[in-house]
């Protein structure tokens, strides 16, 4: 069973959103009632950060029908593509919510938090599609990633081992519920373990402080959230105390700058755990709860997951020197089934059974993986060197005049590519030469930015990832 606690922990609190909560028995009743009313085809879920969204997804999983989580901030054209591509039979939504036209045209079933106790539907086969999660569509229309029940179960069980995750844990987070991080890890993860999750609705350091002080043991967040924590934790005693009492702090969806790691550790004694995954693969690697914490590393492969680095010719990189950069390829039971309606894209994504992630990384002698960026945007070939943008970004963030930064490459007649730093200044912008010298002194001269451009803000998506393709040309 995906969620054995639905029948085994009746009086324990499962979900809390603000002042709304459900025990496992209540969740079984509410989601079970909804599951019995669902058709056999796909269902769209208007994925607001509410209790109703989680109930809707659990109901679809109980019924054995694929759920398509939809970002409430999605644009009209993208939404129309998702609806036409996935062809849901109906949409599940919180009562009273106004839906955009593309969803409003579908039959609608409101998710209510009442129901009639009854026997839960029989468990679906492990290869049955559970979720269809759409990619961000940075290189074309979003693709529907078909995630089977097998991938969800094996990923969550591998994280149980890596994070020593138990039914006694209470997780707090404020992640959106239309992505892998917030929905699968943040909501379905605690439910599979038989634990409890408190969703804050909207992120705030005050909300994190209160939840951890009230007994939460784990926190999930993205780097933008931890960046706010890092900026406040040195002067906010209540926040520092609450964080110091947590069992595990986990960051994901993008790299957490080393400087933020250091600020949080200095104030709390806690070392944030990073992990690495994708929509298509769910989780691949993580720093273990009982393992060495290396700031800036996403840890070692999870149980059952094979990870290799390959060079530009597609050959596996032998050895682990912590310096040689290669593309990450993975295989294991955590992988998706394929892209919906796109057999061509599915075939192109694999290399003899290994999924091509497009992420570039190094691997050290202990097996720890360090992401240096995306192959398409973060690997800079300058003056005969292969340079990872993430390494330079971390160094620039150590400069007191830099609040945020993104590093890219742009064509250069002499170097092939020159390094460009896009900087949000912390106060008066520092001189470009000062920033270049800062990098050259701490890394190497060939890694210094040749161009520095200042912005008021970096473009980001809903998960806080910097959208480098959206930077001004």
The string of pLDDT tens digits covering residues 372-431 is 877 777 778 787 677 878 878 888 988 999 999 999 888 887 787 899 999 999 999 999
Beta bridge partners of residue 460, listed in sequence order: 466
Question: For 138-187, what is each residue's pLDDT tens digit?
Answer: 556 789 999 999 999 999 999 999 999 999 999 999 999 999 999 999 99
Which position has the higher pLDDT, 440 or 208? 208
Whole-number Å distance between alpha carbons of 334 and 330: 9
Whole-number Å distance between alpha carbons of 109 and 132: 19
Beta bridge partners of residue 408, listed in sequence order: 420
Question: For 88-126, what is each residue's pLDDT tens digit?
Answer: 999 999 999 999 999 999 999 999 999 999 999 999 999
Asked if 354 contacts 332 with a C-beta cutoff of 8 angstroms, the reply is no
At residue 95, what are phi and psi to the nearest 5 degrees?
-55, 140
All structural domains of the chain: 379-470 (3.30.300.30)
Q: What is the DSSP letter of 191?
A: H
The four Cα atoms 259, 261, 264, 266 give a dihedral, to 10 degrees, of: -80
Whole-number Å distance between alpha carbons of 278 and 381: 25
Question: For 262-291, what is each residue's pLDDT tens digit?
Answer: 999 999 999 999 999 999 999 999 999 999
Q: How confident is the model at residue 202 (pLDDT cuts 50, 70, 90)?
A: very high
**pLDDT for res 463:** 66
Residue 318 burial (10 A CB sphere; 0-12, 13-18, 19+) = exposed
Nearest CA-CA partner of 419 in 376, 459, 473, 382: 382
Question: Measured on CA atoms in the order 330, 281, 406, 442, is the torsion positive or negative?
Answer: negative
Asked if 147 contacts 131 with a C-beta cutoff of 8 angstroms, the reply is yes
Mean pLDDT of all residues in the chain?
93
**pLDDT for res 415:** 80
Mean pLDDT of 215-225: 94
Please list the helix, strand and coil fractions of the chain in percent, rounded to the nearest 5, in that order: 30, 30, 40
Whole-number Å distance between alpha carbons of 349 and 214: 45
21-35, 301-315, 367-381: least confident range: 367-381
């Amino acid at each position: 069973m995906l969620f054995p606690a639905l029948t085994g922990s009746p009086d324990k609190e499962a979900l809390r959103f603000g002042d709304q909560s459900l025990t496992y028995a209540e969740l079984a009743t509410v989601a079970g009632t909804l599951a019995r009313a669902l058709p056999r085809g796909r269902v769209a879920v208007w994925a607001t950060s509410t209790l109703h969204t989680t109930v809707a997804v659990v109901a679809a999983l109980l019924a054995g029908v694929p759920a398509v989580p939809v970002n409430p901030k999605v644009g009209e054209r993208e939404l129309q593509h998702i609806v036409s591509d996935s062809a849901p039979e109906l949409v599940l939504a919180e009562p009273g919510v106004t839906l955009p036209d593309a969803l409003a045209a579908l039959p609608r079933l409101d998710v209510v938090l009442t129901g009639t106790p009854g026997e839960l539907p029989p468990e679906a086969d492990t290869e049955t599609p559970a979720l269809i999660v759409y990619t961000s569509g940075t290189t074309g229309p979003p693709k529907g990633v078909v995630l089977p029940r097998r991938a969800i179960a094996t990923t969550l069980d591998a994280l149980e081992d890596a994070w020593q995750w138990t039914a006694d844990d209470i997780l707090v987070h404020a992640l959106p519920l239309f992505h892998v991080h917030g929905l699968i890890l943040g909501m379905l993860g605690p439910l599979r373990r038989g634990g409890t999750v408190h969703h804050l609705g909207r992120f705030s350091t005050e909300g994190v402080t209160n939840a951890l002080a009230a007994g939460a043991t784990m926190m999930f967040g993205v780097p933008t959230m931890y960046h706010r924590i890092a900026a406040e934790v040195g002067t906010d005693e209540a926040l520092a105390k609450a964080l110091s009492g947590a069992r595990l702090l986990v960051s994901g969806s993008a790299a957490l700058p080393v400087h933020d790691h250091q600020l949080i550790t200095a104030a709390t004694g806690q070392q944030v755990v990073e992990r690495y995954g994708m929509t298509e693969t769910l989780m691949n690697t993580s720093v273990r709860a009982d393992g060495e914490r290396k700031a800036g590393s996403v840890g070692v492969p999870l149980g059952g997951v094979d990870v290799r680095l390959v060079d530009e010719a597609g050959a596996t990189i032998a050895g682990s020197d912590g310096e040689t950069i290669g593309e990450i390829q993975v295989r294991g039971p955590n992988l998706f089934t394929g892209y919906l309606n796109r057999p061509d894209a599915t075939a192109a994504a694999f290399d003899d059974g290994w999924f091509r992630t497009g992420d570039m990384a190094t691997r050290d002698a202990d097996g720890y993986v360090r992401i240096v960026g995306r192959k398409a945007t973060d690997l800079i070939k300058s003056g005969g060197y292969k340079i990872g943008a993430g390494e330079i970004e971390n160094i620039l963030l150590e400069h007191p005049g830099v609040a945020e930064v993104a590093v890219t490459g742009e064509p250069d007649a002499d170097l092939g590519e020159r390094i460009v730093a896009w900087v949000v200044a912390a106060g008066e912008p520092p001189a470009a030469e000062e920033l270049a010298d800062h990098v050259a002194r701490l890394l190497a001269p060939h890694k210094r930015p040749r161009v520095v451009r200042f912005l008021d803000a970096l473009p980001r998506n809903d998960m806080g990832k910097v959208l480098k393709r959206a930077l001004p040309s």
